[in-house]
Amino acid sequence: MEKIRYKERRFHWRGRVVHNDPMTNPADGWVVGFYYQDLCGREIRHFIRNGEMVWEVMPETVGKFLGYDCMGEELFEGDILQQGLLYYAVEWSEQDCQYVKHIYAHDDENNIVVDGGLAPFHRGEIAYLKKVGNIFENKNLIRQ
């Protein structure tokens, strides 16, 4: 009898580490892997595990993997994507129960000229967009 193999669905997450440890942390401070929460004492803490390594991460920086941009780079929630003079900040909307993009139009000097509000984000769009940063390190590209 032939053994049936099921395709394993893997979701990975990205987050910024809490503690600065040059021996175990990546140089940019971002880690990717399986995200989970754990109760430590009376406090819920957030972790990302990749193989044998486990890092505590800042919960506000945790983002789910969305796919690959037009250059083949991994995209996560919280990334800023560009198409021409338009920039999109991608996030999950609890209210709408879907991913949304906050749209910003820039001029030739990269100044924000229009805050276009929210629109639904479809994963098929990412093949035409380029990752230019994230909302945590590139706040000049968006309004908070």
User: What are the pLDDT tens digits along the chain (144 aa)?
Assistant: 455 544 444 568 999 999 877 778 887 889 999 999 999 889 999 999 988 899 999 999 999 998 888 898 999 999 999 998 899 999 988 888 888 999 989 888 877 888 888 999 988 888 889 999 999 998 888 875
How far CA 50 is from CA of 25, 53, 115, in Å, comes to 12, 5, 37
Say if CB 25 and CB 18 are below 8 A apart: no
- Boundaries of every domain in the chain: 13-61, 65-141
**Residue 134: partners with Cβ closer than 8 Å, 6 or more residues away:** 76, 78, 79, 80
SS3 118: strand
The pTM assigned to this predicted structure is 0.82
- Name the CATH superfamily for 65-141: YopX-like domains (2.30.30.290)
Say if CB 128 and CB 70 are below 8 A apart: yes
